[in-house]
Amino acid sequence: MSLFGRRERDDLRSELAISRAQLRVCEQDARRLRAVLDAVPVGLVLSDLDGKPVLRTPPARQGGHVDHLVEDAVEQLLVAAAAGTRGERRLDLVGPPARVLLLKGIPLADGGALAVIEDLSERARLDAVRTDFVANISHELKTPIGALAVLAETVADHDDVDVMRGLAERMVEEAHRASSTIDDLLELSRIELGGRAVREVVDVGMVISEAIHRTALAAERQDIHITVADPHPPKAMGDSRQLVSAVANLLDNAVKYSDTGSEVTVSVVGTDGWVDITVADRGIGIPTRDLDRIFERFYRVDRARSRETGGTGLGLAIVRHVANNHGGVVRVQSREGEGSVFTLRIPASED
């Protein structure tokens, strides 16, 4: 009897040990499953058989997803899905910030339901940018091409040499305008697709010299003198090709919007691990209402002046992308009638 009791106890201990091991495995699997669910970028809400939420992953709790409008939509989808009806709903939230959410209710095989909350805000923003870009570039290229067609037809109808010469000059201007737009588009695409800039020691003095060389002809035409305040600037870290493009666009912008015979100044200051390249002009300045938008593609403060100067509206967008690629920023200070000061901040050389 005593021996039989001992065997029972041994069997019970063995079963308990097995049960504890199985429990540890289950707990480990549960932790892994929870970690996987927490890592999923979309929000997930699990409900019971009645459609009441019993579990939420972090994206479904954070980032402003849980407000009354979203919560009501999620509960409606869960109740319907728990009853076996799959549903989907898109929410366009005004904000701020504006958000676009796609909600899905999915019935589960063993009862209950799952709601999926996907944030489409960035995708919607990119779609809007793409749509605006196509519309803008179509307009920007259609204008000079249409002008070329009209001018060519006019040339065909004239025999006067002087008139034909004037029309031919206009055709050349419109062709250059279309070419400049295409060149800027290619440059912007190259910089955007290139990702973050190459990290190499850059001679800022050489960057400024090359940028001045690119804009020398335009400055000469308007009798504008470009002055470099510091002939021996500190070195920076980055992509020299991108930096030349950015500084050249800042200089080109300054020249275009300066009065004939005025001066544009380039200065460089190194401070706290950064190099600030500043381009200052004494031109027409920028209205305060436009300061937040001037780095957008195709945005122009004065469209009439842009047509006269041949601006494409892409130069400052290029500067902004170069700054972002370098982990830096571009800032502007301006007052109407007094001029503008643009500062491109990039990392200083680590040497």
Comparing 143 with 164, the larger pLDDT belongs to 164
pTM, 2 dp? 0.55
The pLDDT tens digits of the residues spanning 169-224 come to 878 877 877 776 777 667 666 666 655 556 789 898 999 998 898 888 888 888 89
Would you list the domain boundaries of the chain? 2-121, 122-193, 196-351
Q: Return the half-sphere exposure (C-beta side, CA atoms, 13 A cut-off) of residue 173.
A: 14
264-277 mean pLDDT: 90
Residue 1 banded pLDDT, cuts 50, 70, 90? very low
Residue 304 banded pLDDT, cuts 50, 70, 90? very low
Q: From CA 264, how far away is CA 133, in angstroms rounded?
A: 31
pLDDT at 320 exceeding the cut of 60:
yes
According to the model, what pLDDT value does residue 264 have? Answer: 92
Topology (CATH level 3) of domain 2-121: Beta-Lactamase (3.30.450)
Tokens of 106: 């999915």
According to the model, what pLDDT value does residue 132 have? Answer: 67
Residue 251 banded pLDDT, cuts 50, 70, 90? very high
Lowest mean pLDDT among 162-166, 209-213, 241-245, 260-264: 162-166
Q: Are 313 and 299 in contact (CB under 8 A)?
A: yes
Comparing 173 with 318, the larger pLDDT belongs to 318
Comparing 133 with 205, the larger pLDDT belongs to 205
Q: Are 47 and 53 in contact (CB under 8 A)?
A: yes
pLDDT at 242 exceeding the cut of 70:
yes
The CA distances from residue 189 to 48, 72, 241, in Å, are: 50, 43, 14
In CATH, what is the architecture of 122-193? Orthogonal Bundle (1.10)
Question: For residue 93, which phi and psi values (nearest 5 degrees)?
Answer: -95, 130
Give the burial string for 37-64 (b: 16+ CB within 10 Å, else e). eeeeeebbbbbeeebebeebbebbeeee
According to the model, what pLDDT value does residue 267 have? Answer: 92
The pLDDT tens digits of the residues spanning 96-116 come to 677 888 889 889 888 888 888
Q: From CA 177, how far away is CA 166, in angstroms rounded?
A: 17
Return the axis-axis angle of helices 161-193 and 240-256, rounded to nearest 10°: 140
CATH 3.30.565.10 for domain 196-351: yes
Active site positions, annotated? 139
pLDDT at 276 exceeding the cut of 90:
yes
Work out the mean pLDDT of the chain and round it to a whole number: 80
Q: Are 227 and 338 in contact (CB under 8 A)?
A: no
